[in-house]
Amino acid sequence: MRGLKITLFILGMLLLGTQTFRHVYVKWIEPTGSALDAYREEVDEDIAASQDLDELLVLYEKAREARKEFEDSHPDFTPEQRYSQKTRVIFEKEQKLEHAIRQLEAQSKSLFDLHFYWICGLLSVVLGLLAYCRINRWLGMAGMITGFTEMAFWTSPLWRSGGPQGEFDKLLTTKLVLSLTTLALLIGIWLQSNRDVQGTGEPDSSESV
């Protein structure tokens, strides 16, 4: 079992360490500016600067009302005219805001899923530790492997894209914190395991199931 522990510890350190570095890079180091930013439309800037759903809903309501007022004042308006240079902006603004709202809602759901599944992984690790110490080492190892795999998966890297940045930054920060917590937990268990082996003065020999 000693060889299995070493292998799993190295793999866990490799995975959690590299994805933590990725989180740090995206949050603080990655260049985010572009020469084309000066040509962005106002609605794109408003979307990027939005911090929560309420801000986007206010913008969406205004865009929706402007679109409805335009259609009411042009009863002979045809679908083909929707894409003309003159009227295109009115409809695009509402569509962009609608897309941004759906994107923010998806990020909020991802944040909820992250908390839920990471806690499930932590619970699996804790139960695995209890099983390892009191019931059966192989059963305990299976529980801990399952827990750490779940925690590592749900703290996987993010890639920055357009759209609302407030909720994205919140999700990124949460992933960074939980990734570091998972890494610290893995190292702590490994160090404690080594102390236990050294304390007994015996090698960690393989055991039957």
The helices-and-strands tally (H runs, E runs) of the chain is 6, 0
Tell me, yes or no, whether 208 lies in a domain: no
Asked if residue 209 has pLDDT above 60, the reply is: no
Q: Which secondary-structure segment (H or E) carries 149?
A: helix 137-154
Residue-level pLDDT at 50: 85
Residue 206 pLDDT level (bands cut at 50, 70, 90): very low
Burial 4-31 (b: 16+ CB within 10 A, else e): ebeebbeebeebbeebbebbeebeeeee
Tell me, yes or no, whether 66 lies in a domain: yes
Tell me, what DSSP letter sits at residue 25?
Answer: I
Tell me, yes or no, whether 124 lies in a domain: yes
Number of neighbouring beta carbons within 10 Å of residue 96: 20
Cα separation, 28 vs 38, whole angstroms: 22
Residue-level pLDDT at 195: 82
Single pTM value for the model: 0.84
Cα separation, 201 vs 179, whole angstroms: 33
Residue-level pLDDT at 115: 98
List, for residues 160-197, the tens digit of each pLDDT value.
888 888 889 999 999 999 999 999 999 999 998 888 76
List, for residues 19-44, the tens digit of each pLDDT value.
999 999 999 999 887 777 777 888 88
Tell me, yes or no, whether 137 lies in a domain: yes
Q: Which two tokens stand for residue 167?
A: 């909720």
- In terms of residue numbers, what domain contains 166? 2-30+40-200
Tell me, yes or no, whether 207 lies in a domain: no
Q: For 61-71, what is the mean pLDDT?
A: 88
Tell me, yes or no, whether 209 lies in a domain: no
Tell me, yes or no, whether 205 lies in a domain: no
More confident residue, 69 or 76: 69
Comparing CA positions, the residue from 101, 99, 94 lying closest to residue 166 is: 101
List, for residues 84-140, the tens digit of each pLDDT value.
655 677 788 889 999 999 999 999 999 999 999 999 999 999 999 999 999 999 999
Cα separation, 29 vs 139, whole angstroms: 42
Residue-level pLDDT at 200: 58
Q: For 151-155, what is the mean pLDDT?
A: 96
Number of domains in the chain: 1
Tell me, yes or no, whether 35 lies in a domain: no
Comparing CA positions, the residue from 199, 202, 189, 208 lying closest to residue 5 is: 189
Cα separation, 82 vs 93, whole angstroms: 12
